[in-house]
Amino acid sequence: MGSDLADVFRREAGGLLGFFIKRDVPAEDAADLVSDTFLAAWRSSRTSTVPPDLIRAWLFGIARKTLSRYRRGRSRRSALGDRLRATLAADSAIQQPAGSGDHDLHDHVRALIACLPEIDREIVRLVYWDGFTQEEVATILGKPATAIRARLSRARKLLRDQLAESGDVE
């Protein structure tokens, strides 16, 4: 699959970069994570057994695991900085100015998505931000497609109800 993987890289590198950036990874780190994803795919013993129609979903599943490792490592590296900032903030009693409270619909929807359970947030992101089908999301997350469909349906209803409640949609 060596040359096939090179074709997949050319075809999917931009989508993977967007996948990481949409999940708040700085662009310079996102590029590294794309490389790490392809390295893991190249090293994988499953590379030659993945059906061609699922290679993209399989690759994004690897990307999701790469992102998880990145976040764990980043949180470990930044723990000391976080403690230092908290100490400085407490010592100097720095107060943040209150926000204006004027959120546009885009920010409001993002905030509502952020309130969903992590697995539901990821399902919504994969379907609506990254354009995957529910079956592809099932492959990426390693979950049954029926579970993905049910979780997405519940998440959509919850988001719809919350938007209606806030008066943002009818």
Identify the CATH number of the domain in which residue 137 sits. Answer: 1.10.10.10
Kindly state whether residues 23 and 66 are assigned to the same domain: yes
32-54: b or e for each residue (b if 16 or more CB lie within 10 Å)? ebbebbbebbeebeebeebeeee
What residues make up the domain containing 69? 1-94
The two three-digit tokens of residue 26, written as one number:
């700085």
Kindly state whether residues 79 and 119 are assigned to the same domain: no
pLDDT confidence of residue 75: 76
Q: What is the pLDDT along the chain (170 residues), one digit of tens a residue?
A: 455 778 888 999 999 999 999 999 999 899 999 999 999 999 987 777 888 889 999 999 999 999 999 998 887 766 655 655 655 544 443 333 344 443 467 778 888 898 999 999 999 999 988 899 999 999 999 999 999 999 999 999 998 888 888 776 55
The two three-digit tokens of residue 97, written as one number:
């100015």
Indicate the burial class of 1 (C-beta count within 10 angstroms; 0-12, 13-18, 19 or more). Answer: middle
pLDDT digits (tens, 9 = 90+) for 55-74: 999 999 999 999 999 998 88
pTM greater than 0.75 (yes/no): no
Kindly state whether residues 126 and 70 are assigned to the same domain: no
